[in-house]
Amino acid sequence: MVEMLGAVEAKSWGSWITDTPVTSYQLILAAGGLLAVAAVLLWVQRRAHVALESSNVSDELMIYLARIANALERPLPQGPSSDDVTREVLRRLEQMANAKPNGKVREMPQSMFGREFHVYG
């Protein structure tokens, strides 16, 4: 037995697998075992069937999922071009450079309201 293990360790796994003879009886047993495992899995799947009953919560969930799917299917609106963004940034930098110390233009707004993109010109 020890000599046999030593011979297996000396060979690589690939050559050991290809050098091992497999009889037709062993192949039939392996196929039968796989069929038995597949039958057990199918039986377990059939017994673990879950049905969703209709309720207000499930109906509302389906409405929300449909709205999300519709929103994902709509094309996205085109944003401003890079020229428009560059023009707006340069205009804003010019405003900040020309602003008085207590002027109307602030570098950091107090809130997020009114930060939408405007194109002038």
What pLDDT digit, counting tens, does each position of 6-49 carry? 555 555 656 766 777 889 999 999 999 999 999 999 888 877 66
pLDDT digits 0-9 by tens, 71-91: 888 877 777 788 888 999 999
Q: Tell me the pLDDT band of 58, cut-offs 50, 70 and 90.
A: confident
| pTM for this predicted structure | 0.29
Please state, in angstroms and as integers, the Cα–Cα distance from residue 48 to each residue in 35, 37, 45, 60, 87, following that order: 20, 17, 5, 26, 62
CA distance 90 to 87: 5
What's residue 63's pLDDT?
Answer: 92
